[in-house]
Chains A and B, each alone.
Chain A
Amino acid sequence: MSCSTNLDLKAYVVGELARGERAVVEDHVRGCHSCREELDRLNMTRAALATLEDEEIPRRIAFVSDRVFEPRWWQTMWRSGPVMGFASAALLAAAILVHGFERPIVSVTKAPAVDTAQIEQKVEARINAKLDAAVAKAVSDSQAKQAAEFAQVLNATETRFERQRQADMATVQQAADYYQRQLGRLVVASNAEFKQ
């Protein structure tokens, strides 16, 4: 190459020159035979290299998600400053809204005038009712208790009377037997005297 210019033809061929620099090279090679020849050879080399096409990859490369090593949702959120900030702000806003809607309504109302006589009557009536009920219950309990005791005493008396009656009957029977035997002896004796 006999041209003494300092143009970077290789940079031109590989696309490293700016538009203005490219124009300078193109202007120069129109009038410079040696540079044009050099540029043609470089372009031919570039074109020849372009004939070598890319191969398809024999096997696709892919990665499988392994949940053991993946961060949990809360870890991901925890590590993310913006997400944490947004979540905090959202939580605060929600708390304010809930508080606003759920807050108990405080109202000031005038208390009605107190009727003490009426209250006393009501209280007295309630007390009386309770007393009546208690007395009735006590009377009822007492009557039931007395009836039970009476029945028990009656039962015991009847039992005792029955025993006494049976004893008396036995005594009467013994007396009757005795007089029967005595009567028998008298009859025998009288008959004997009569025979004599």
Chain B
Amino acid sequence: MIFREVEDRDLIAKARRGHVEAYNVLVSRWEKRVFNYLLRLVGEREDALDLSQDVFLKAYQNLKKLDDPAKFPAWLFRIAHNEAYSLLRKNKPEGEITAEPRMDDASGGLFPIETTLAVRSALERLSQDHREAVLLKIYQGFKFEEMAEILACPVSTVKSRLYTALDLLKETLAPVNSGGSQ
């Protein structure tokens, strides 16, 4: 856990009293994570940016409804989840929310480009629910209980989605004959 001179809960308390600058500091801490979560969920950079702005605006407007400031991350990602699904429902007919994010122009890391491409491809092939479970767990580090709050479903459902996703990803990223066993 990174030590912060001013905790999020202090910024939330100030923002609740109308201190916009305190909220801007809070936004600067979370905007990158929210943006990347939305980018991997909806696939379009501009959409992800617009959604991020909407998410933080809604969060500001509803900040007083947040009962426990310690739950701010899960609460914020719950808003992001809802905003993303609103967009996906708008773009896709009812019952066909299977967005396939295009992450082909995403920035590469220090790892071999083949691995990065393979990961993107494997994530794209997952269903929306499975991909979101991976995003929240692997990339955002939420606990199962927090994921259940964000996704508004039981913990058992969260675990089921994540485990299925890991099995599918494992088949692509760590096949049996790839030397997984020593």
CB nearest to B107 among chain A residues: A55
- Measured CA separation A42–B166 after assembly (Å): 8
Chain A nearest CB, measured from B121 CB (Å): 11
Contact stretch, chosen from B2-10, B86-94, B173-181: B173-181
Chain A nearest CB, measured from B155 CB (Å): 10
- Measured CA separation A107–B24 after assembly (Å): 63
Contact B170 A41 (CB under 8 A): yes
Question: Known: A14-B137, A41-B170, A48-B118. Is A65-B21 also a contact (CB below 8 A)?
Answer: yes
A97 on the B face (CB < 8 A): no
Task: List B contacts of A52 (CB < 8 A).
Answer: 103, 106, 109, 116, 119-120, 123, 139
Contact A45 B144 (CB under 8 A): no
B152 on the A face (CB < 8 A): no
Contact B115 A51 (CB under 8 A): yes
CB nearest to B115 among chain A residues: A51
Contact B166 A45 (CB under 8 A): yes
- Chain A interface residues toward B at CB < 8 A: 10-11, 13-14, 16, 33, 36-37, 40-42, 44-46, 48-65, 70-71, 76, 80
Contact A45 B169 (CB under 8 A): yes
Task: List A contacts of B166 (CB < 8 A).
Answer: 10, 13-14, 42, 45
Which residues of B from 48 to 103 have beta carbons under 8 Å from A? 49, 52-53, 56-57, 60, 103
- Measured CA separation A51–B123 after assembly (Å): 13
Contact B36 A54 (CB under 8 A): yes
Chain A nearest CB, measured from B122 CB (Å): 8
Q: Which 6 pairs show the lowest CB-CB distances between chains A and B?
A: A51-B111, A44-B174, A37-B181, A53-B109, A65-B20, A41-B174
- Chain B interface residues toward A at CB < 8 A: 17-18, 20-21, 23-24, 27-28, 31-33, 35-36, 39, 45, 49, 52-53, 56-57, 60, 103, 106-109, 111-112, 115-116, 118-120, 123, 134, 137-139, 143-144, 159, 162-163, 166, 169-170, 173-174, 176, 178, 180-182
CB nearest to B109 among chain A residues: A53
- Measured CA separation A94–B27 after assembly (Å): 42
Chain B nearest CB, measured from A104 CB (Å): 44
Question: Known: A55-B36, A55-B106. Is A61-B18 also a contact (CB below 8 A)?
Answer: no
Task: List B contacts of A71 (CB < 8 A).
Answer: 18
Task: List B contacts of A62 (CB < 8 A).
Answer: 24, 27
Q: Which of B28, B57, B173 contacts A49 (CB 8 A)?
A: B173
- Measured CA separation A16–B143 after assembly (Å): 7
Q: Which of B24, B49, B163, B169 contacts A63 (CB 8 A)?
A: B24
Task: List B contacts of A80 (CB < 8 A).
Answer: 17
- Measured CA separation A44–B27 after assembly (Å): 33
Q: Of A46, A62, A64, A70, which is in contact with the most chain B CB atoms at under 10 Å from its CB?
A: A62
- Measured CA separation A41–B113 after assembly (Å): 20
